[in-house]
């Protein structure tokens, strides 16, 4: 485990201990699936909940605290910001990188920000509640485009990632074979993704290429995308396996 992961795991242990001792929920900042998965090494599964502000977000906040022991529920400290040009017809074409760079230029750390959903020239940001007002008041321009920033209740359904069903035939139901097929990789290239710790299954870091997925497992592959495994459908005469997956698009 590298120094960055050790630091995050230690922080998770501190948050889990505080939740147990004080009987309150404690929260991390936003993390990638790989980093968030370290929480399972710091606390019991019943003590961990992850949420990024909407269904199917990649970056998440980790909450520590067993709801049965604490005795109540509460919302995650996440706000949604909507950023749009003041004058649409004079706006630049803005990318994910442009929006992220503008917020970081306010002196804000990356872990304050979750996913950014770009829709043409506007965008929705998931941010930690404590920084929402500061960002809204400070974010006035992105590149050459004057913008407005406001807090909203939700991201419109049509802007969120969608699932597309696919039926594919693989040489083996092992995870490395499935990823090789889906992303047009050799088995060796797929294995390197595991070695580079780029894969999580149901929020946990997965290092084993031979993993056999259970139905409804969620898989995230950094740099490639996310999918849900729905199960085996059939076996061909040549011994290959037909599977169904839902891929996020």
Domains of the chain as residue ranges with CATH: 3-70 (3.30.1370), 78-157 (3.30.70.330), 163-248 (3.10.290.10)
pLDDT of residue 56: 83
pLDDT of residue 92: 83
End-to-end C-alpha distance for the chain, whole angstroms: 32
DSSP-derived letter for residue 212 is B
pLDDT of residue 1: 66
The model carries a pTM of 0.84
pLDDT of residue 160: 84
Predicted confidence (pLDDT) per residue in 9-64, tens digit: 999 999 999 999 999 999 999 999 889 999 999 999 999 999 999 988 889 999 99
What is the Cα–Cα distance from 233 to 238, expressed in whole angstroms? 15
Q: Tell me the mean pLDDT in the region 115-134.
A: 94
Lookup result for tokens 């069903």: 165
Average pLDDT along the chain: 93
Predicted confidence (pLDDT) per residue in 179-198, tens digit: 999 999 998 999 999 999 89
Q: How confident is the model at residue 249 (pLDDT cuts 50, 70, 90)?
A: confident
Share of the chain above pLDDT 90, in %: 78
Share of the chain above pLDDT 70, in %: 100
The CA–CA distances, whole Å, from 93 to 83, 89, 126, 145, 229 equal 14, 11, 21, 9, 36
């Amino acid at each position: 485990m590298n120094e960055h992961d050790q630091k995050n795991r230690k922080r998770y242990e501190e948050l889990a201990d505080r939740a147990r001792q004080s009987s309150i929920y404690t929260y991390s900042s936003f993390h990638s699936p790989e980093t968030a998965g370290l929480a399972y090494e710091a606390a019991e599964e019943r003590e961990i909940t992850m949420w990024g502000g909407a269904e199917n977000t990649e970056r998440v906040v980790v909450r520590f605290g067993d709801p049965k022991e604490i005795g109540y529920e509460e919302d995650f400290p996440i706000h949604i910001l909507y950023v749009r040009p003041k004058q649409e017809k004079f706006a630049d074409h803005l990318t994910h990188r442009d929006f992220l760079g503008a917020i970081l230029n306010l002196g804000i750390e990356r872990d304050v920000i979750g996913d950014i959903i770009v829709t043409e020239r506007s965008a929705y940001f998931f941010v930690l509640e404590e920084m929402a007002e500061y960002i809204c008041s400070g974010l006035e321009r992105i590149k050459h485009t004057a913008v407005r920033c406001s807090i909203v209740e939700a991201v419109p359904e049509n802007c969120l990632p969608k699932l597309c069903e696919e039926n594919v035939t693989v040489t083996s139901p092992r995870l490395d074979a499935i990823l090789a097929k889906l992303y047009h990789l050799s088995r060796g290239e797929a294995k390197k993704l595991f070695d580079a710790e780029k894969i999580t299954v149901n929020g946990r870091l997965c290092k084993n290429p031979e993993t056999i997925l259970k139905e409804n497992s969620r898989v995230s592959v950094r740099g490639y995308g996310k999918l849900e495994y729905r199960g085996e459908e059939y076996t061909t005469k040549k011994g290959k396996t037909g599977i169904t997956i839902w891929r996020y698009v």
